Amino acid sequence: MPLRSVFRPVLLFAALAGLSPAVLAQSDAPPPPLELQVLGSGGPGAVGRAASSHVLRLDGVPRILVDAGPGAFARAGEAHVPLARVRTVLLTHLHADHAGDLPGLFKAAAVSGRGPIPLRIFGPDGRDPYPSTGRFVELLFGTGGAFAYLPDFSAPLALTTRELSPPESAVVTVLEEDGLRITAARGHHGDVPAVAYRIDYRGRSIVFSGDMDEAGLPALIALAQGADLLVFNSVVLDPPDSPAVLYTLHSPPAAIGRAAAEARVGRLLLAHIVPAVEDHAEAVLDSIRQHYQGTVELAHDLQRLTPSAP
Ligand SMILES: [Zn+2]
């Protein structure tokens, strides 16, 4: 599947290019090869956490954004993330709590950069009523789109999209360059088109489940084999303590623990935390620990985590 060019960069409003460049924290120690920073550790409810979003630093430079839920824009500012350095956006699915902050983040990148900013956006294909990732980006930033002005507003944004539809239980390579390898497997979030991602860089690896019900676990286990860190979105309690319909969309703690054990991941981070999980955190963690012996914890906004090899 070739990358599809959606927009041609045109340099306009160069005077804005110098606005507010963010800076990296200075340190004498070399940066870790791969580092996760949680921008949003929450779910769809406005209850204090930003919604789902993560940034990955490669050799200290923020290069990859995984989901862009509401609140990620504010957290990226608080974390001094130089958004103009991001080159790749991985969308697990197109629910608003995972993609709603894309326009704000892209505009922030545009007004903080100087030259053209190439942004590759990967995400699922479409299935009614969900647009494909390409259509989604066109509806936002294409001709006639809601924010059609944005790609040429300041530093030009060169947006390309690629839709992913991995075969059932197969792991596909999405991107391979300069030591970075991104692979993907078919997600399963009810009938919502979804993708799970694995990022490998210089011997370190992180996997993102996205929102996933139990039907997606076999593919995720194949994708996550031996990964240093698995970020799993945790939304429900073990049955029957959550509304039945939610089990068609999300995996319960016992299933998450079994999947983490079967994939032999080094560490487990629970993300997309909702009040039910927060209020019963010990029960959730205990249930997971019945099956998985590694470190497991609940994510929090702005948390930084460096995966270490097992
Ligand atoms: Zn969600």
Structure tokens at 28: 């004498």
Contacts of residue 174, Cβ cutoff 8 Å, sequence gap at least 6 = 122, 162, 164, 182, 183, 184, 197
- Please tell me the distance between residue 43's alpha carbon and the centre of ligand 1 in angstroms: 5
* C-beta of residue 205 within 8 angstroms of C-beta of residue 227: yes
Q: What are phi and psi of 75, to 5 degrees?
A: -65, -35
Indicate the SS3 state at residue 146.
coil
Q: How far is the CA of 13 from the centre of ligand 1 (A)?
A: 36
Helix, strand or coil, per DSSP, at residue 176:
strand
Distance, CA 195 to ligand 1 centroid (Å)?
Answer: 13
The Cα–Cα gap between 139 and 303 comes to 32
- Dist. CA 129 → ligand 1 center (Å): 17
Q: How far is the CA of 86 from the centre of ligand 1 (A)?
A: 22
Residue 135 CA to ligand 1 center (angstroms) comes to 20
Residue 121 to residue 104: CA distance in whole angstroms: 15
pLDDT in tens, 77-135: 999 999 999 999 999 999 999 999 999 999 999 999 888 999 999 999 999 999 999 99
For the segment 50-70, what is each residue's pLDDT rounded down to a tens digit?
999 999 999 999 999 999 999
Q: Is 308 a residue whose pLDDT tops 90?
A: no
Strands (E) in 108-228, as ranges, are 117-124, 157-164, 171-177, 180-186, 195-201, 204-208
Which band of pLDDT confidence, cut at 50, 70 and 90, is reported for residue 19? very low
**pLDDT tens profile 251-301:** 999 999 999 999 999 999 999 999 999 999 999 999 999 999 999 999 999
pLDDT for res 29: 87
Band (4; pLDDT cuts 50, 70, 90): very low
Q: How many angstroms separate the alpha carbon of residue 307 from the centre of ligand 1?
A: 24
Mean pLDDT of all residues belonging to the chain? 91
Q: Work out the burial of residue 183: count CB atoms within 10 Å of its CB; fewer than 13 is exposed, 13-18 middle, 19 or more buried.
A: buried
What global pTM score does this model have?
A: 0.91
pLDDT of residue 114: 86
Q: DSSP per residue over 48-93, as a string?
A: SS-BSEEEEEETTEEEEEEEE-TTHHHHHHHTT--GGG--EEE-S-
Q: How far is ligand 1, taken at its centre, from the CA of residue 96, in Å?
A: 8
d(CA 304, CA 222) in angstroms, rounded, equals 26
As its CATH architecture, domain 32-303 has: 4-Layer Sandwich (3.60)
Give residue 179 CA to ligand 1 midpoint distance, Å: 30
In terms of DSSP bridges, do strands 229-233 and 204-208 run parallel, antiparallel, or are they unpaired? parallel
**Residue 211 Cα, ligand 1 centroid: separation in angstroms?**
6
The Å distance, Cα 220 to ligand 1 centre, comes to 17
Tokens of 307: 């995966």
Separation of CA 24 and ligand 1 centre (Å) = 30
How many Å lie between the centroid of ligand 1 and the Cα of residue 233?
8
How far apart CA 87 and CA 96 sit, in angstroms, is 22
Q: How far is the CA of 276 from the centre of ligand 1 (A)?
A: 14
Question: From ligand 1's centre to the CA of 235, what distance in Å?
Answer: 9
pLDDT value at position 46? 96
- Rounded CA Rg of the chain: 19
What's the gap in Å between 15 CA and the centre of ligand 1? 38
Comparing CA positions, the residue from 254, 232, 230 lying closest to residue 241 is: 254
- Please tell me the distance between residue 213's alpha carbon and the centre of ligand 1 in angstroms: 12
- Tell me how far the alpha carbon of residue 12 lies from the centroid of ligand 1, in angstroms: 36
Q: Cα of 51 to ligand 1 centre, how many Å? A: 8
Please state, in angstroms and rounded to a whole number, the distance separating the CA atoms of residues 282 and 276: 12
Could you tell me the maximum CA-CA distance found in the chain, to the nearest angstrom?
A: 58
Residue 129: phi, psi to the nearest 5? -95, 15
For residues 133 and 120, the answer to whether their CB atoms sit within 8 Å is no
- Nearest-angstrom CA–CA distance, 235 and 41: 11
44 alpha carbon – ligand 1 mean position (Å): 6
User: By the 8 A CB rule, do 267 and 233 touch?
Assistant: no
Facing residues of 120 across strands? 88, 160
Cα(109) to centroid of ligand 1, in Å?
A: 24
Residue 91 tokens, joined: 């969308």
CA of 229 from ligand 1 middle (Å) equals 20
